[in-house]
Chain A
Amino acid sequence: MASILKKLGNTDRRIIFILIALSVILPIIFKITFPNPVGAEPSRDMFEYIDAMPSGSDVLMSFDYGPSTMPELQPMAIAIATHLLRKDINVVCMALWPEGASLAQEVMSGVADSLGRTQYEDWCNLGYKTGAGIMIVRLGSSMKAVFPADRDNLPWEEIPMLAQISDLTSFDLVITLSAGDPGVPAWVMMAGDRFGVPVGGGCTAVSAPQFYTYLQTGQMVGLLGGLKGAADYETLVGIKDGTAIEGMAPQSVAHLVIMLFIVIGNVAYFSEKKKGGRR
């Protein structure tokens, strides 16, 4: 037994690589889906907050991520944008990460087309600016000073939906989709605590546990954490074929596989240790 475990302990990495790949690929190929119940999660808080907003409200949606975390954050962006546009809420997009500007365009034009909403009337994409937190403070005194024109260089005055926007406090909610720094903390600090605008949003699973403290204090109205948060929101909004819900099956299998790896690895380690071998 011990020798088998020892052999396992020295397994070529590539075998482990193949196993983890299979645990993800097989559920996708066989289209296995699991129901995704949504409990008393912060993703539900986020949904309910937006759901209670009257139509015609203005929401600032900041795309603070790049391609590296797209699989987690893009489905969230799509689900939230669908919810907002469906409720006739005006969506103003911007980005703290340069790549976010392109990804915002892709998400918004896709969702708006499917719901028959028009750019510049129901949504617009202001694009990217440098400066992160310092830029957000400037947004608090004047939006137009930071965004004299939108992503495609259309002047601020020529975008009709922006007529009622002067600074951050013109918005009823700020939503950030954040992959790290700059992201959620910058928005909570500047928009939330400094200017009193409610902040909510989604983040990668890596940073989600940190932001639970902002939920307990009410500094954030809701939070989607990682692919699970995205799947929750898809469920709540009623997107049937969302990539996040689809991803829950491979995610489940892969989690089990990794936990199994940890258990086997530890059994091998302790049995060897017991035998008197050093680590």
Chain B
Amino acid sequence: MKNLSAFLIILLLISAGAALADNADPPESVVTEAVEELEVRRAIDLEASDTPEDEGGSVSLTWLMETEGVTPDSLGVMRSDPFGGEEHITTLPVGTVMYRDQSANNGTEYNYWVVSYLGGTIEACSDRAVAISSAQWIYRGRIGMLIILFLIMAVIIYYIEIGKRGKELFIREIAGLTAVDDAVGRATEMGKPVLFIPGIMDMDNIQTIASIVILGRVARKTAEYGSPLLVPTCRSVVMSVAQEIVKEGYLQAGRSDAYNKENIQYLTDDQFGYAAGVDGIMVREKPAAIFLLGCFYAESLILAETGRSVGAIQIAGTAMPSQIPFFVAACDYTLIGEELFAASAYLSREPKLLGSLKGQDAGKLFFLILIIVGVIAASIGDFWSPMKSVAEFLRNLVTVN
């Protein structure tokens, strides 16, 4: 913004100068004479102030240039301190109208002035301006954000703590999850296996973690219904975690005898290699239900396509924005973005997940109300000005500088 205004000022000065020259329109000889008599242009309206919102040690200077007179070769910024020291800080090209002195000591009162050089000597000198540099503790334009962020963080931590103490936190039913049971049931009826694909990322990805939580639920259902569950993975760590989770699920359903470790296998780390491998499994085993939950990239399309072509019910879920559309178009149910995390929180009942979800909801609710009130105020404000300032206030609340 400062750059822009400086630029505008220069532009104004140039155009003003041009306009003056045009208006006067004197004979050429007169102009030449006049120039010789004129003095060298000097800086005027010099202002010095502490650079706001910094770690200190800096003073900002702004000035204007006289419009009439001989243009100097360059400008110099000079400074003197209370102890009598006088120094030349920098040389600047003509046309500069601002400078930031980064070498000031905090708390020292400095005198600044700008000199005009012509032919290596000082030909003109501006008035002096005084400033003391200091450090600030906070960016003023960010205080509003600090307060809102702090409140939301407090709410999240509050809900996590409440959850840890064992209080029930309500989370709505996720539509895709009810479909899980139906899909597994149908696979059983048809006597075909269920295929679960936990994405292609490793266990450090939160989407993979969410996916594995849902795998636990699917495993329990397949164990109850007695249909085989296939889990090909793209990472060896995911494979071992998946084996544990599925085993646990079969144990809970009282069918640990039906658990088959061989059904959960690691294929390859390679993206397209994995897609080709899973395609092979789909074509061979013809699963009746396919779950595509987790972090997917470009291979999502290849997987969903083959799944559709073997006639399986497909339930997908990912937070990858560019893959969601493909899943919506090619699958029967899709958990969109955050629904994936909500589903895993819903199933695991883990306080840290549920609490975060509630805290995020509080944040969303806050913004929602802010938007609604703000829009109403702004719209009424077009006819009744007091409301305009309400809208302006709300807008400032969410403005960060």
Chain A residues proximal to chain B, CB less than 8 Å: 54, 169, 172, 193, 196, 206-207, 210, 278-279
Contacts and interface: CB of A to CB of B under 8 A. Distances in A.
Interface of B: 1, 3, 7, 311, 321-322, 400-401
A196 B1 contact: yes
B3 A172 contact: yes
11 contacts: A54-B7, A169-B3, A172-B3, A193-B400, A196-B1, A196-B401, A206-B322, A207-B322, A210-B321, A278-B311, A279-B311
Contacts of A207: 322
Contacts of A196: 1, 401
A141 B364 CA distance: 33
A169 B311 CA distance: 57
A206 B298 CA distance: 11
Contacts of A169: 3
In order of increasing CB-CB distance, the 8 nearest A-B pairs are A206-B322, A279-B311, A210-B321, A193-B400, A207-B322, A196-B1, A172-B3, A54-B7
Contacts of B322: 206-207
A256 B322 CA distance: 22
B312 to A, nearest CB: 9
Contacts of A54: 7
B186 to A, nearest CB: 11
A172 B3 CA distance: 8
Most chain A CB neighbours (cut-off 10 Å) among B7, B311, B322, B400: B322
A36 to B, nearest CB: 25
A133 to B, nearest CB: 16
Contacts of A279: 311
Contacts of A278: 311
Contacts of B400: 193
B102 to A, nearest CB: 9
Nearest to B11: A54
A206 B297 CA distance: 12
Nearest to A141: B55
B322 to A, nearest CB: 5
A182 B360 CA distance: 25
Contacts of A210: 321
A69 to B, nearest CB: 12
A61 to B, nearest CB: 19
B11 to A, nearest CB: 9
B21 to A, nearest CB: 21
Given A169-B3, A172-B3, 9 more contacts: A54-B7, A193-B400, A196-B1, A196-B401, A206-B322, A207-B322, A210-B321, A278-B311, A279-B311
A169 B3 CA distance: 9
Contacts of A193: 400
B376 to A, nearest CB: 20
A59 to B, nearest CB: 13
A36 B321 CA distance: 29
Contacts of B401: 196
Nearest to A205: B322
Nearest to B297: A180
A209 to B, nearest CB: 9
Contacts of A206: 322
Nearest to A193: B400
A206 B300 CA distance: 14
A210 B325 CA distance: 13
Contacts of B321: 210
A164 to B, nearest CB: 10
Nearest to A196: B1
Nearest to B308: A279
Contacts of B311: 278-279
Nearest to A54: B7
Nearest to A68: B298
A278 B321 CA distance: 31
A232 to B, nearest CB: 22
Nearest to A9: B309
Contacts of B1: 196
Contacts of A172: 3
A87 to B, nearest CB: 16
A277 B322 CA distance: 33
B158 to A, nearest CB: 28
Nearest to A207: B322
A219 B3 CA distance: 18
A279 B186 CA distance: 14
A206 B400 CA distance: 29
A169 B322 CA distance: 33
A172 B7 CA distance: 11
A193 B401 CA distance: 7
Nearest to B325: A209
A278 B311 CA distance: 9
Nearest to A164: B93
A207 B3 CA distance: 31
A106 B196 CA distance: 45
A206 B301 CA distance: 14
B304 to A, nearest CB: 14
B101 to A, nearest CB: 13
Nearest to B1: A196
Nearest to B329: A262
B314 to A, nearest CB: 11
A212 B3 CA distance: 27
B338 to A, nearest CB: 15
A261 B322 CA distance: 21
A206 B3 CA distance: 34
A65 to B, nearest CB: 15
A210 B320 CA distance: 12
Nearest to A279: B311
A56 to B, nearest CB: 11
